Structure 1
């Protein structure tokens, strides 16, 4: 490994619909474009496969882990485009038949699932006509998760979290020291306008690592409006690339040299006492 090692990453932004088939088609187009732009690791947003008309819609299409058309399609996409695919979130079966796990699966270029993270913190928000209670249909996960890949003889440690998780900095301490946190999300427009950017930049600054956020961004068929602003933030908290709204992707590079430089001149991670 050299200090000049880089990893090209992309986050895809979508405006998903109630049709998982249509959403997979849209995701495929964006994955193809991001790969053509040079990405080696590509992240999809939370709920990329379905933004249903009701919370129960995701329960209806849930799959057993390792078996189902959505997972098969994702596996084939990772193989076809030879990328590490952080597959947003998909609904996987839980211990409660009326709920799902909101799960991120990571596929290697060989199609193998090399990591799984089940969303731990479940979003709840009430304001006027807006009322979201993920706990009604989602069973929370319990395990902080990261994974390691090797690209051009260099190891990259990647942390996984999902949307509302970013409000809980203790989770990121539990995950440990990583090169990048990948965060699929579907922030509401209201909460996104207020907190999205500042939370992402804070997580990058305090963990002295990159943050790659892949978001839903627009007006959905079900009437919901999501914030968007998918972005890559560097370990100094600077936004290196972003997409405000609409479908598309952002691309950039993780640089070992920058991570090392920041952690050397300001060794905050070594100064922790708790």
Structure 2
């Protein structure tokens, strides 16, 4: 596996000339679409359509006809996404996954993955804001991005597998590189043993007053602990789980309002 966050990363060795089936390995389990992620949005779409049509009908037949296109448009907008994934299923193999969407098929071998990106969806509740992991974007050696949605049964198990095989396997090598004085690059963010750079701005670890782990992001505070110097969203850096572990090992004062991204 390549190390895209390494400045001196070398291209991976070309894989042996095996068939796709041989590289994927044996089939372990099939994860089918979680029907709740299809039914609930469709019910909400139907209720919204009924509400709009009902408001129009209150004005008589003419009002109903006027409201009908708006109701249909609202239903189509809300129903399009769940209808597209109704045939989703993911085959989990020993060394990769195969994503099926109807007749479309996309296979990803874990050893071909260079970058793991999160697709996060912020969800607000009366008591807190959460960051829900909706999908992975896995970028292979050729720069091709493969989306692995998580609207399937036992999605947590699938997410943990992908993170373990494609990201966490890099963590020990990343920590070793830092100790050797290397700079590791995560998109616009660069970290080394002495400090962190976000874009063109840099802060030494010793000068940071606080690092706060929040749902979907990390905030870095330099002169005070009210307004962050910089905030890095987990969906804006590759291998966010590796990034978080490195920050936790380097920062002097850490406050957490959430758990480490799964």
TM-score by length of 2: 0.23
Which of these two proteins has the greater Rg computed from alpha carbons? 2
**Structure in which a larger fraction of residues adopt helix:** 2
Larger RCO, structures 1/2 (Cα 8 Å, 6+ apart): 1
TM-score by length of 1: 0.22
